[in-house]
Chain A
Amino acid sequence: MTAAIEVAGLGVTLGGARVLDGVDLTLDSGSWLAVVGPNGAGKSTLLRALTGLVRHDGTVTLGGRHAGSLRPRDRARLAGYAPQAPVLPAALSVTEYVLLGRTPYRSLLSAPRAEDRTVTAGVLERLDLGPFRDRPLHTLSGGERQRAVLARALAQQPRMLFLDEPTSALDLGHAQQVLELVDRLRREDGLTVVSTLHDLTLAGQYADTLLMLAGGAVVATGSPADVLTPERLARHYGATAEVTSGPEGIRVYPVRRRPSPS
C-alpha cells in the first residue's frame, strides 16, 4: 500500500495566531481519516491546509507529489473538496453544477465535451440524482444538496476526497445515508477520504483512523477505540461521556450527572 497523503510538520498562522502546529500524518490509499476535536481545535483549517486553500508551513505530499509544487489544475484532478457550507448558485441546474467538477479537465474557454457529459451523467446516476438533473439547485432538500456537492467533487474524478463536516446540516438518517454513500465510493473507487466530523459516534463508526486535534495540535491518532476514551473526552472536550464498543462499532454517550435528590 502506498501512502496517499503524507504530512510533516504542518503549521498554520492566521492573523498572527498559531492555529495549527506540528501536525504529522501518513494516510494509506483507500483509507478514511476522520479529524475530530472540540470547536476551534483547527479541524477545518487542517483540511484547508491539506487542500492548499490556506498558506501553511511544513510539507504536504499528495499521491507522492509535493503539494506546493502542483499546478492548481493538477491538484484539482487529485483532490476533491467540499466545504462545510458549500455555496450553491441558486440559478444553476443540478447538471450544470456537477459539470463544474469537470473544470480541471478542460480550458475555461471550451464548451463541455462529450466525455464531460458522460462522466457527469454517470455520477448523477450513481448518487441517485438522475431525477433531479434539470432541477435548479435551490429547489433541493438538505440531503439532496449534500449529494449534489459530493457529485460535483466526484466529477473531478479525484483520488482523494476532503469533506468538511459533510453531515452538519443533516438529520441522523440523512447523515447516515451520506456517510454510507461516501464509504461505498471509497470501497468501489479506492478513494482516500479525509473528513472532519463533529459527531464522534459517526466518526468512530465510519472512519478507520481518527485524528484528534485540540488547541491546534494533534493529541491522539489511531483506531477509533484507541482515540475515543472517556479521559480524552473529559480533558479536551470538557465532556462527561461513556464509550462502549461492540460488533456495530463504537458509541459515545453523553452522560448527565444529576445532582442527588436531597
Chain B
Amino acid sequence: MVAATALLGAAVLAGLSVGAVGLPPLGAAAALLDRIPGVSIHSGLSPVETQVLLQLRLPRVLLAALVGGMLALAGAAYQGVFRNPLADPYLLGAAAGAGLGATLVIAYVPGNSVGPVSVVPLAAFVGALTGVGLAYGLGALAGQGDGAATLLLAGVAVASFLAAAQTAVQQANAESLRDVYSWLLGQLGAASWPTVGLMLPYAAVSAICLLTTGRGLDVLSVGDDEATSLGIRPQRLRLLVLVAASLGTAAAVAVSGLIGFVGLVVPHIVRRLAGGSYRTVLPVSLLGGGAFLVLADLVARTVLSPAELPIGVVTAFVGAPFFAILLRVGSGRS
C-alpha cells in the first residue's frame, strides 16, 4: 500500500515535469505546495511555466490518475463479482454502450455539441449505463442457476449487439470514421479542469462504495452457496458492486473514451505483488491503476512528440503481451 502510494506520487511528479516544456520536478512540486493557502514556497518557475503546470499538465495528470485508478478498481471488483480472472470493467456492455452513444453523437449531432456544451461525454455515460442495465436485466430475466455465470453470458450478448449497432452507424457515416476511431482508442488530450470536475463526483462515490466491499468480495470468492452459508446475500452484494463499478466506469469512459487493458491487467499485477485478498487488491489497484495510466499517458505524449499516440494504443502495447503471458501461466496452474 505504501509502495503503491509512493509509485503514484512519483508517477504524478514525472507526469507533471515531462513534456513539450520541461519543468524541474522539484520546482513543480514546490509550485503546487505554494498553491496551498498559508504555504509560501518560491518554486523558481516562470509565470508561463506555472501556467503550463496548472492549466495543462495538472488537470491532465489528475484525469489520467482518476481514470486509471477507477478502471483498475472497477476491473478488480468485476473480477471478484464474476470470480473470473479475465473480467474487466467493459465486460457487461459498458464499453459497447458508450461506443454506440458516442458514435451516434459524432455521426448525427453537428459539431458534437448542443450550444457550447459537448454532448459526447454525456452520450457515452448514458450509453455505458444503458449497456450494463440491459445486461443486468437480461441476466435477471434468465434467472436460474448460477447468477454470476448467467450475467456473464447476458453481458456478452448485450455487448455484441451494441457493438454491431455501433459498427452499423459508423459504416453509414464514413465521414465521421476518424473522429469515432480517435474516441474509441481513448484520449486524455482534451483534459481540463472542467473535465476533472465532471468525473470526480462519480469516481468518488464509486470508489468509496467499492473500497468497502473488499471483505464481501473475499467471501463471495468461495462461491454463492458457501457465501450464503456464511450469512451474506450474494445477489445483493453483487448488485451493489456492479452498480458502483459501472457508475465509475461510465464516468471514466465519458471523459477519456475506451482505454483498454488497465482494468484487466492492473488488478492481476497487484494480486501477484500484494496477495489475493480483495481487502488489499481493491485499494492497491486504485493507486496502481492511477500510476499506470499517468505513466502510459506520459509515453503517449512524448514518444512521437509533438504528435500524440492514442493512449489506448500505449496501454494495449503493454497490456496485450501481459495478457498473453497471463493466459499461459493461468492455464499451466489450475
Contacts and interface: CB of A to CB of B under 8 A. Distances in A.
Contact of A52 (B215, B226, B228, B232): B228
Interface string B219-249: 1011101101111110001000000000000
Contacts of A103: 215, 219, 230-232
B201 interface: no
A169 interface: no
B197 interface: no
A96 interface: yes
Given A92-B277, A109-B215, A104 B231 contact: yes
A103 B234 CA distance: 13
Interface residues of B, number: 27
Interface in B263-287: 271, 275-277, 279
Interface stretch (A83-91, A170-178, A231-239): A83-91
Nearest to A93: B275
Interface string A73-107: 11111011111001111111100110011011000
A67 to B, nearest CB: 12
B89 interface: no
Contact of A138 (B216, B225, B334): B334
A69 B277 CA distance: 32
Contacts of B212: 108-109
B218 interface: yes
Given A76-B229, A87-B221, 16 more contacts: A53-B228, A53-B229, A75-B231, A81-B225, A81-B229, A82-B226, A83-B223, A90-B276, A91-B271, A91-B275, A91-B277, A92-B276, A96-B277, A103-B231, A108-B216, A109-B212
A28 B100 CA distance: 62
A86 B221 CA distance: 11
Interface string A199-215: 00000000000000000
Contacts of B277: 91-92, 96
B219 A100 contact: yes
Given A53-B225, A92-B277, A136-B276, A104 B219 contact: no
Interface of B: 83, 144, 212-213, 215-216, 218-219, 221-223, 225-226, 228-233, 237, 271, 275-277, 279, 333-334
Q: Which of B219, B223, B229, B277 has the most CB of A within 10 A?
A: B229
Contacts of B218: 89, 92, 96, 100
A97 B212 CA distance: 19
25 contacts: A51-B229, A53-B228, A53-B229, A72-B232, A72-B233, A73-B231, A79-B229, A80-B229, A81-B225, A87-B222, A87-B223, A87-B226, A89-B218, A90-B333, A100-B218, A100-B222, A100-B230, A103-B215, A103-B231, A103-B232, A108-B213, A108-B215, A108-B237, A109-B215, A111-B279
